[in-house]
Amino acid sequence: MIETVANIIGSTLEGELTTSEIASLLEKPKHQHLGDLAFPCFTLAKKFRQAPQQIAQSIAEKINHPFIEDVQVVGAYINFFVNQVVVTQQVLTDIVGKGDNYAQLEKNGQRVVIDFSSPNIAKPFSMGHLRSTVIGNALANIAQKNGYTTIRVNHLGDWGTQFGKLIVAYHMWGSKEAIDKAPIQELLKLYVKFHDEAEQNETLNADARAAFKALEDEDAEALALWEWFKNASLEEFKGIYEQLGITFDSFEGEAFYNDKMQAVVDELITKQLLTVSDGANVVELEHMPPCLITKQDGATLYATRDLAAAFYRQHHYTPEKIFYVVGNEQSLHFKQVFNVIDKMGYPWAKDLQHIPFGMILKDGKKMSTRKGRVILLKDVLDEAIQTAKQNILDKNPALPNLEEVAQQVGVGAVIFNDLKNFRLNDIEFSLEQMMNFEGETGPYVQYTVARISSLLEKAAFTPTNVVLKELEEQAWSTIVCLQDYPKALQEAYEQADPSIVAKYVLQLARAFNKYYGNTKILVEDAARESRLVLCYSVTTVLKDGLKLLGLQAPRNM
């Protein structure tokens, strides 16, 4: 609708504005009686050297198109009332014809690398890891819907001083039998104990630094412990990713870049960008602290590895963009890394984008592994599934695939609760709120799909050779919402914000449920088939939107 109206306006302006410029200016009026779209003429005043009100009147008088039912001038605005029958025909025909491919853009031949999830080895997969994981997965899906080929990278935290701490802790307090029995739980206990003890005994931190340096120097015992910690963690992570329905193209973590960092350091030296500051090698940057490349003892840092990773990905994948879905607190780090690459003279530095997000808080405080204040994601998912199962048993005890649906609804509730929030906002952890199956929740949208699926099954509906008749006035808000889907997907990608899609599916579900509550869908009359086409179109778009967010849509609940 927006593009069509923009073309109609453009035909009256004789090239003064492009269709995309006009489309960006079009607004949706706050109230339905003011029209479907409004075009402000303020920006044209300078071009035409006329008052915006005069320009609006002049444009309105030239518009004569079957798509437009009425045009009204209100001050400097042109309010457009579209022909609802024509729009309904276009939107529903488009969705029925394309099915799951509605709003799918053709492949543009460009790749997007998305670095997300990236949990730390030898630490439990906590609720704190959820945000990067589900935001990154949704962005990858949305990018694909916008025509990109996505490369999903899990940049595992499998290197760093925490391994020195774990090695020291294991030697001092660890038990091989206990770790073999419950690896992640025992490693977490050791990690927390190390930090508790280090507050009283500063030499422990020095021991940990020495242990990590031994690991970097490929000490056999240190490497064996590191491999053991890593493999135990990956087994647990694998189960979590399977439960979430998330896959990766690469698990190349920090350790993968150990033999690739020296080339970056050498290039920095060659380009005379490396300087010594307090014994460490740094790159000086404008308007921000210097970027540390190596410590005084020669040990590398996060920045060194992220620089090596950026160069590897650029050469290996030749991407259009690289997204780093990492928490808000790392914003300065990524600004420094991107600025270093820019100073090295690489124009693709501008294609590196940090996608920050807020934290999940517990009682208003950040979850901290080192303090032991952590909620395990697996425990949350299991409890959510059990809650979903009980809700289904209460309402539909005869459901044949109860376990499968409970899994889809419980996991979906956790994912949707995260993604419905603007990513930069902090989220207070509340299982009760997460599992509220009414209102702005994943189960609410899933239930809408199941309700429509039941209707279509009862009507034995198949979307073929349907001649559309005029629908009730109450259907219009649902039609408008359906035709907004492509725009929502484009904005979600451009703003790297999955909450746009989550809010969209909520809006569409609410619009349809309001229509459903006031309309007898299956009554035998001339518009029955058209109503079923509308139902089919809504469930097609809802299922697609949920899929992009990482949720499944059960046919029955």
Q: Express each pLDDT in 286-301 by its tens digit.
A: 999 999 998 877 777 8
Answer whether residue 139 shows pLDDT above 90: yes
Answer whether residue 63 shows pLDDT above 90: yes
In this prediction, residue 370 carries a pLDDT of: 52
Answer whether residue 464 shows pLDDT above 80: no
Domain end point (choices 38, 57, 82): 82
The CATH number of residue 476's host domain is 1.10.730.10
Query: Residue 471 sits in which domain range?
Result: 378-549
Interval 88-97 mean pLDDT: 93
Q: Residue 379, Cβ neighbours under 10 Å: how many?
A: 13
Q: Tell me if 359 is assigned to some domain.
A: no
Q: How confident is the model at residue 359 (pLDDT cuts 50, 70, 90)?
A: confident
Give the residue ranges of DSSP H helices in 182-219. Answer: 183-198, 203-216
Are 366 and 391 in contact by the 8 Å Cβ rule? The answer is no
Q: Which residue do the tokens 């229509």 mark?
A: 515
Q: How confident is the model at residue 162 (pLDDT cuts 50, 70, 90)?
A: confident
Answer whether residue 130 shows pLDDT above 90: yes
Give the tokens for residue 230: 């890593």
Can you name the residues that pair with 276 across neighbouring β-strands?
281
pLDDT digits 0-9 by tens, 388-446:
999 889 988 989 899 999 999 999 999 999 999 999 999 887 777 777 767 899 999 99
Q: Tell me if 312 is assigned to some domain.
A: no
In this prediction, residue 171 carries a pLDDT of: 95
Q: How confident is the model at residue 9 (pLDDT cuts 50, 70, 90)?
A: very high
Q: How many domains does the chain have?
A: 2
In this prediction, residue 373 carries a pLDDT of: 60
In this prediction, residue 368 carries a pLDDT of: 57
DSSP state at residue 287: T
Q: Tell me if 119 is assigned to some domain.
A: no
In this prediction, residue 458 carries a pLDDT of: 95
Domain end point (choices 49, 65, 82): 82
SS3 550: coil
pLDDT digits 0-9 by tens, 197-250:
999 998 999 999 999 989 988 999 999 999 999 888 888 899 899 999 999 999
Domain end point (choices 57, 82, 107): 82
Q: Tell me if 468 is assigned to some domain.
A: yes
Distance CA 278, CA 401 (A): 64
Share of the chain above pLDDT 70, in %: 98
Calculate the average pLDDT of the chain: 92
Q: Tell me if 44 is assigned to some domain.
A: yes
Share of the chain above pLDDT 90, in %: 73
Q: Tell me if 279 is assigned to some domain.
A: no
The CATH number of residue 13's host domain is 3.30.1360.70
Q: Tell me if 106 is assigned to some domain.
A: no
Q: Tell me if 302 is assigned to some domain.
A: no
